[in-house]
Amino acid sequence: MTFVVIENCIKCKFTDCVDVCPVDCFHEGPNFLVIDPEECIDCTLCEPECPAEAIYSEDEIPAGQEHFLELNAELTQLWPVITEVKTPPDNAEEWNGKEGKLKLLER
């Protein structure tokens, strides 16, 4: 099993989750983070650290967000690993909780 980053991370990109990951399975894109399903050990440490509540177990992905499981796997192949906390974008709080952000995902 793996954990998955879903839509609410887009344009928020808080990195609190990265700091607690024991296997460095997070990858960073321009405005989104993803979890490598091959590296994730299902430790659950990242989920409560996400201020945007954008991390879910693959068994608990909210309805309508299931495609993020495949998207996480795809983008981990393209983006570099992130292992240190970074300052979130200046407008991260403004984007937190907004719907329909998938179209804003930068690859």
Mind listing the pLDDT tens digit for each residue in 2-37?
Answer: 999 999 999 999 999 999 999 999 999 999 999 999
- Domain extent, residue 9, equals 1-53
Q: Is the pTM of this model over 0.85?
A: yes
CA separation for the pair 7, 62 (Å, rounded): 10
61 domain residue, yes or no: no
In this predicted structure, what is the pLDDT of residue 47? 98
Kindly report the number of other CB atoms within 10 A of residue 59's CB atom: 10
Model confidence pLDDT, tens digit, residues 46-79? 999 999 999 999 999 999 999 999 999 999 999 9
1 domain residue, yes or no: yes
Contact 29, 107 (CB under 8 A): yes
35 domain residue, yes or no: yes
CA separation for the pair 18, 82 (Å, rounded): 7
83 domain residue, yes or no: no
12 domain residue, yes or no: yes
Helices H, strands E: what count in the chain? 3, 4
9 domain residue, yes or no: yes
Task: Provide the CATH number for the domain around residue 19.
Answer: 3.30.70.20
